[in-house]
Structure 1
Amino acid sequence: MQPTEPTPGRFEVVAVASSAGGIHALGALLGALDAELPVPLLIVQHLDPHHRTVIAEVLARRTEMNVKLAEDHERIVSGTVYIAPPDRHLLVRPGGLLDLTDSERVHFVRPSADLLFESVAAAYGPQAIACVLTGTGRDGAQGVDAVKSRGGTVIVQDPATSEFSGMPEAAVGTGPVDFVLPLEEIAAMIGELVDTKRQ
């Protein structure tokens, strides 16, 4: 599935959601992305809130990009991967300022992909890319709809190739998505869309 004439460099942020099977999928994605990605990457991975997480350290082994847990009121920069901390919603405001909240769970989860995607849609509109990877449940489907309604681009891991198909199937079921791809093709699509040679 090829994009129809993407406008190079028009994207400003990539938001990624995953749950069950997500650590492997995120590692594969980050390992295949250009280390000089010209946009920030925001990640919601459902984590056990009762244990200290080492997800940033684990994923940092797969990429030369800077990988870190997101911090409240931090300003995002290109080529850095920001991961929602356990039990905190991750939002981004206009101007690229992060906001961590412990507001109510959404579809029984916190952090919520829906809230991240909705905030990305509001802050970046057509300059946003949202990506849904493997996971159970429906988190991300509502947010995908928000990204599409603001003119953003949506990539979903092919449910048939996902370790857990619930989240990808729910995202595809919301309506039109731009690309449904096997995991190993998603990084190349993101690279083509953001045009890693523009800077």
Structure 2
Amino acid sequence: MSADALSPLRRYDALVIGASAGGVHALQALLSALDARWRLPVLIVLHVPRDRPSRLAPLLDEQCVLPVGEAVDKQPLQAATVTVAPPDYHLMVETRDSLALSRDADVLFSRPAIDPLFESAAAVFGPRLLGILLTGASSDGTDGVAAIRAAGGTVWVQDPEEAVAPLMPASALAGPGADAVLTLRAMGDALKDLVQ
């Protein structure tokens, strides 16, 4: 773990989170840790079925004091909001001020996928990006974690021993690694510390 991976003194401009199997509970736990002082935009990809509307945004909205909504193409990137990828679209950071949706090819059989969000956010925010990779049953997110770390950003990975589906966090740890490996409770506490 890097010395400042959890430091409340380290400043970020955005938070990106990726999850798959078991991810709804994990996301609810993390978002419930945020309070009204949280100012960063939060962008989320959860692998969801592409052939029906997603209930993810309203589910997360019940647990979060920040407004939660599903992404729309070319929407502004706003502080103190949570934006989730819609079914059948990759969510990407276009600029520091806007988001984009893409129908590019599936990544590891998923659209939305985690890697496009993490990679595009790393290209825009560089060392000012915090990425979190949670439970999941594929290796999606591993390349995105590598991109964040290569750009100087910080990555927290859920402890595979706690994850409902450990493959996703374990894949990242076996490859590019992480700045911190944390339980959901420890991640929530660390997020609270960032706004102290």
For Structure 1 versus Structure 2, the TM-score category normalised by the shorter chain is: over 0.9
The amino acid of 2:81's aligned partner reads T
In structure 2, C-alpha distance between the alignment counterparts of 1:123 and 1:17, rounded to whole Å? 17
8 A Cα contact 1:33 1:188, kept in partner: no
Paired position in structure 2 for 1:196:
195
**CA deviation after TM superposition for structure 1 residue 33, in Å:** 1.8
Within-5 A mapping of 1:23-38: 23-38=24-39
The unaligned stretches of length 5 or more in structure 1 are none
The unaligned stretches of length 5 or more in structure 2 are none
CA displacement, residues 156-176 of structure 1 (integer Å, 9 cap, x when unaligned): 000000011011101111133
Paired position in structure 1 for 2:55:
54
Paired position in structure 1 for 2:4:
4
In structure 2, C-alpha distance between the alignment counterparts of 1:83 and 1:3, rounded to whole Å? 31
Within-5 A mapping of 1:1-199: 3-4=3-4, 6=7, 8=9, 10-192=11-193, 195-197=194-196
In structure 2, C-alpha distance between the alignment counterparts of 1:68 and 1:34, rounded to whole Å? 17
8 A Cα contact 2:33 2:192, kept in partner: no
What secondary structure sits across from 1:32 in the alignment? Answer: coil
Structure 1 residues 46-55 or 151-160, which shifts more? 46-55
In structure 1, C-alpha distance between the alignment counterparts of 2:60 and 2:43, rounded to whole Å? 13
8 A Cα contact 1:36 1:65, kept in partner: no
**CA deviation after TM superposition for structure 1 residue 3, in Å:** 4.3
Give the TM-score normalised by structure 2. Answer: 0.94
8 A Cα contact 2:133 2:141, kept in partner: yes
In structure 2, C-alpha distance between the alignment counterparts of 1:125 and 1:2, rounded to whole Å? 17
What secondary structure sits across from 2:83 in the alignment? Answer: strand
Give the TM-score normalised by structure 1. Answer: 0.93
**CA deviation after TM superposition for structure 1 residue 7, in Å:** 6.8
In structure 2, C-alpha distance between the alignment counterparts of 1:19 and 1:112, rounded to whole Å? 9
* Residues 176/52 of structure 1: CA separation in 2 closer, same or farther (3 Å cut): closer
In structure 2, C-alpha distance between the alignment counterparts of 1:164 and 1:34, rounded to whole Å? 28
In structure 2, C-alpha distance between the alignment counterparts of 1:97 and 1:141, rounded to whole Å? 24
**CA deviation after TM superposition for structure 1 residue 44, in Å:** 0.2
